[in-house]
Amino acid sequence: MLIVKKFGGSSVANKDRVMNVANRIIEDYKAGHQVIVVLSAQGGTTDILLEKAREITDKPSKREMDVLLTTGEQQSVALMAMAIESLGYPAVSLHAGQVGMITTSTYSNARLESISRDRIEMELERKNIVIVTGFQGINKYDDYTTLGRGGSDTTAVALAASLDADRCEIYTDVDGVYTADPRVVKDARKLEDITYDEMLELASLGAKVLHNRSVEMAKKYGVELVVRSSLTRAEGTIVKEECKVEKMLVSGVAADKDVARIAVVGIKDLPGNAFKLFSLLSKKSINVDIILQSVGRDGTKDISFTVHRDSKDEALEILNHHLERLSAIRVESDDNVAKISLVGAGMASNAGVATKLFESLYDAGINIKMISTSEIKISVLVNMDDADDAVRAVHNGFKLSGN
């Protein structure tokens, strides 16, 4: 069997954890499997490098930042290869250039374009455990690039897809995907399996187990993922195309506290004004989520929407700058909000789900500010202070703990 195992920065943060991971890798190798390991930079390393750059300049070029940051993974793969060799097993570390991890040229946020199988296959034939740098690639100029958030997960899935791996295991500091954040909901239940689509909704909604890009790629190439902990032996959660038929209607509930609500008030009701508004934002790569349009006074309308909190200031600047062009009166914003989402593949065909959601929140005395629905998800915007109560109320309302 060919297995790809990805370990995040906290799983290799120090000597003891490196040795722990080395031993888990060797277990699979001893069982006769071919093993490819993808590593992030050791926990803390990236912060040290960012600080070194910040000391020199507030605005480092993205190209040089990538040159600097890629050293983090290069260090962790070298140390892991040493650790495995010190335990008596053959290992070889490879960086992005050596595995032909070709990306676009967008430094700091590059997209994978292709992977060359040659070097990895050669090392596997030589019976080596192959340790590959996550998060990084090279562009057509032979410059280092980095893949942005969730980059190492993406590297692992891409390798698994490219090499037809039998399994792709994503090791993290939680032991699977839960029906809700266990820190908020005490009786949250670990899911045995979940579909790609459900995972995509959960990932984008603040369940920070897997990054969307890696799940999208896994779905596209049919790579079955296992999310599990590097610190325990628990089974983990499988992410795949279809789950058991007897699966519950609802998989989980997630809270996203990194949102902000923006309202453009008093837009003159002319055709094209809404289009203008959102095209201004998309030009600056600002993603808009829940959208609500309501009728204002004197033949005007108000448009409200949510954005990632980091984009709020930029969005406000753009909108205020173009207020006249949009024929609007003013822009308001509120970042004291959170988005609560209920996710489940069986939801679309069951009209009662939305009703039960609203009822659960009503019973808990929680006010809903905005609503958005999709095939497998219902999201509501609530006050930040209500976020955890809302998650508990919904989790309880849908009996997600299984009790």
Query: Could you give phi then psi for residue 166, rounded to 5 degrees?
Result: -80, -25
Question: Which span (70-78, 164-172, 249-257, 277-285) binds its own copies, by CB under 8 A?
Answer: 70-78
Residue 167 burial by Cβ neighbours in a 10 Å radius (0-12, 13-18, 19+):
middle
49 lies in the binding site for its own copies (CB under 8 A): yes
DSSP 8-state symbol, 353? H
Strand order in the sheet with 300-308: 288-295, 300-308, 259-268, 330-334
Question: Which span (13-21, 228-236, 353-361, 383-391) binds its own copies, by CB under 8 A?
Answer: 13-21
61 lies in the binding site for its own copies (CB under 8 A): yes
Of 10 and 373, CB closest to its own copies: 10
Q: Please, what's the b/e burial string for 102-125 (b: 16 or more CB within 10 A of its CB; e: otherwise)?
A: bbeeebebbebeebeeebbeebbe
13 lies in the binding site for its own copies (CB under 8 A): no
78 lies in the binding site for its own copies (CB under 8 A): yes
Question: Which span (59-67, 108-116, 285-293, 344-352) binds its own copies, by CB under 8 A?
Answer: 59-67
Residue 266 burial by Cβ neighbours in a 10 Å radius (0-12, 13-18, 19+):
middle
The site for its own copies, by CB under 8 A, has a size of 38
57 lies in the binding site for its own copies (CB under 8 A): yes
Of 13 and 354, CB closest to its own copies: 13
Q: Is residue 135 helix, strand or coil?
A: coil
Q: Are 304 and 261 in contact (CB under 8 A)?
A: yes
Q: How far apart are CA 319 and CA 130, in angstroms?
A: 50
Residue 334 burial by Cβ neighbours in a 10 Å radius (0-12, 13-18, 19+):
middle
Give the one residue of 68, 280, 288, 323 binding its own copies; rule: CB under 8 A.
68
Question: Which span (77-85, 155-163, 275-283, 363-371) binds its own copies, by CB under 8 A?
Answer: 77-85
142 lies in the binding site for its own copies (CB under 8 A): yes
> H or E stretch including 395?
helix 387-397
Residue 18 CB, nearest approach to its own copies (Å):
6
Q: Are 70 and 146 in contact (CB under 8 A)?
A: yes
Of 63 and 190, CB closest to its own copies: 63
Of 21 and 260, CB closest to its own copies: 21
Give the one residue of 92, 163, 177, 227 binding its own copies; rule: CB under 8 A.
92
Instruction: Show the site string, 93-112: x = touches its own copies by CB under 8 A, - = not.
Output: x-x-xx--------------
Residue 38 CB, nearest approach to its own copies (Å):
16
Give the one residue of 3, 25, 38, 77 binding its own copies; rule: CB under 8 A.
77
Question: Which span (83-91, 219-227, 267-275, 282-290) binds its own copies, by CB under 8 A?
Answer: 83-91
50 lies in the binding site for its own copies (CB under 8 A): no
Q: What are the tokens at 89?
A: 């097993």
CA atoms within 13 A on the CB side of 224: 13
Q: Shortest CA distance to 291 belongs to which of 316, 310, 311, 274?
A: 274
Q: Which residues bind its own copies (CB under 8 A)?
A: 15, 18-19, 49, 52-53, 55-57, 59-61, 63-65, 67-68, 70-71, 74-75, 77-79, 81-83, 85-86, 92-93, 95, 97-98, 119, 142-144
